Structure 1
Amino acid sequence: MMNLALPNHALLHKLVAACGMLLMLALLMVLFPETSSAHGYLDVPASRGLLCKNNVNTDCGGASYEPQSAEAGKGFPNGGPGDGHIASAGNTFPKLDEQTSTRWSKVPMKAGPQAFKWQLNAAHATTTFKYFITKPGWNPNAPLTRASFDLTPFCQVDLNGASPSNYYTTNCNVPERTGYQVILAIWEVSGAPTAYVNVADVDFGGGSALPAPTNLASTAVTDNSVSLSWASIAGAASYQVYRDNVAVGTTTSTSYTNTGLSSGTSYSFTVTAIDSSGKASPSSSVVTVKTTGGSTTTYPAWSATTVYVGGNKVSYNGVNYEAKWWTQGETPTGTNVWKVIP
């Protein structure tokens, strides 16, 4: 006579439970498809997390590796990350919540029309981009809370479910401020409870009595580095160095070497002095320096008496420039009528 084996009921129950979990995960992926792939960060002005990734800010924890993952709930200020955990996107990267006037490098900012640019790893359907700024008189030495910010966005772009480009720009009118401020930038994804939360530490200037550093000069140049020096400023606690308007380092001395550069490439540098409260002086004059190496093209030397029109190319102090429009007697700097070219 044939014996029939009865099923192992315990094993059967485990299989049923496992299938149920898989079904639930599949359902969540259908309902919230954006949450696993829609990542992004504020590129301009550079966010606190991006400056961590670029080694301008230090001791940042996980933000140094994936600033695009600062994810929290939607709906700020009514929802979203809690007070004290705004910069970390609800404790995603706890180190980013550390807040003092000198903890983070600052990006230069001016009131008026400014472009805010996001790098989106996946440009999914979007509800809105919105931007908040700290109030005049906020306390830079206390954790960021809703009380720190003007809770009416100074800029908001509603996409109503449309998908932005992977490098998306919003043009905003930034309100008047002085000194150190924090801009809170939020990208809310459509069809999911998700928002990507970035803060940018910005400096409007005008908040410090310190004068702009003077005598900024290049003291040494290699294929991949530029060394700078400048005159000491009485009362300065530190100095911040900018390359092409992006902060690249802070030092307490009057010299700095910027490494990791490309050979045969021109870079523009400025320096600000930072006082003990974290407020920055106006920027120094621009110094444009070209690294050695690489293939180079030499153009006629610039002359103060020659008339130039758009497209004319010259060399000045070892750097090549192209005129944007008619000019005469205007020294090439890369920040005026003359633009730096290879």
Structure 2
Amino acid sequence: MQPDTDFGNHPAFVPDGQIASGGNGGGDFSCLDALTTDWPTTTVNVGAIDVLWENTAPHKTQYYKVYITPNTWDPTQPLRWGDLIEIGSVGQGPAEPFTTIASVIPAAYAGKRAALVSVWQRDYNDSHEAFYSVSDIQVAGDGTCNPGDAANVTFANNTNCTLEYYQNNTLQGSANSGASFAANTSVGAQWEARETSGAAVDSFTIACGQSIYASTQCVGTGCTDGDPVTITFVNNTDCTVEYYRMDALQGSADAGGSFSVSTTVGSHWDVRETTGVEVSHFHIVCEVTTYTSEGSCGGGDSCAGLQTWSAGAVYVGGDKVAYNGVEYQAKWWNQGANPEQNSGEYQVWESLGSCSGGGCTTGDAVSVMFNNNTDCVLEYYQNNALQGAANAGGSFMTSTTVGSLWEARETSGAAVDSYTIACGQSNYNAAGNCSADTTGGCATAYGPYPNVYMAGDVVGYNGHNYECQVNNLFNVTPGTAA
């Protein structure tokens, strides 16, 4: 298992010398790390090979990677991460029983013995698990080559931008970030990798015994976890959804709508119905700025047609069952695992919520967003008590209850809109032009906490400006004593 802050740092969890056993060198799998020439080998040829993973318990994938030991490798010496050379990879994908990783054995390995190390990293949003495999190979041939000889090469784009590949200043192909471009060329040929803007990134001379040429950094600044990024969540479901980060509500979008927000690369977001039922979740990554939720939301009996869980039945990843009025989905193969007792984050079942669909009634707690699409400051009242304000083009989010009555007013007190909070609706809009000269020269409207005011701050309230006299003041209505 790998913690949230260290995804993919395999050497931190699988020590050198224990790669074949997946870090279990002190346990039942220690024999896999045995240092001996007796391991059977599979004969392969120089050039393209397919490495096939068969998954008896398929899961969604973050990536597969295939590495090879140096062509001077000694099988009586421990496998070390720092010695491994990447020769193939596959990016994110769905749960599949078989996956083929296209890889390339460099010409310099002809006639050599080597080991292939394969890594399967599960989808970061599903699990922290990674799996490891080692295969001993014998590469056929004698490895001789000369300038002008035909060569099959792969240009690996390990940058965070799209690259184009040129030979003799002629575009030959391209590769998106994390992908690769394979080409037929000749030993001694000159190649160049460029950004789509034309900026040169790398130049290569095709050499004997080398078939992979990697670029690792764009000319522009790359991105890493923690970098700021603006993203858009698209709601293609049939209900209003809410967006949470670290279990704190950040915004919402009605069916067919969207929600844009500033966040950071590497952050985790949850998408939920207004009833709290999870719809989807996302791990924010470099260069992806749109995240879409699909499907139908709750309502009615979501377990209709599902089999009731049985202790004797065998379930595989994706199977759904009903048990004690709750819908569950299997994450991987299992038998006899009671879903009610085995539906935690790293357990075999995932709870999909109540079969009833989780409707709402008057008095239920909800979070709503008041959007001010007018050309003036609006104040929002519940039961004639000011609760908050929003500048023109802004919004005000608050917690309230289904059935409660709200009113949007100009700072002059003129009514703009009234709302009755309804089930399944979390956005309430005010639009149009405000009354002429209603602000009376007032400053930004006063609002309760989370607004905090410092000495010297000026706010508008009921047609008057007020200046704050102390620091860290909140929830004190202008015109009253602090």
Decide which structure has greater helix share. Answer: 1
Report the structure number with the largest CA radius of gyration. Answer: 2
TM-score scaled by length of structure 2: 0.26
TM-score scaled by length of structure 1: 0.36
Q: Report which structure shows greater RCO (CA 8 Å, sep ≥6).
A: 1
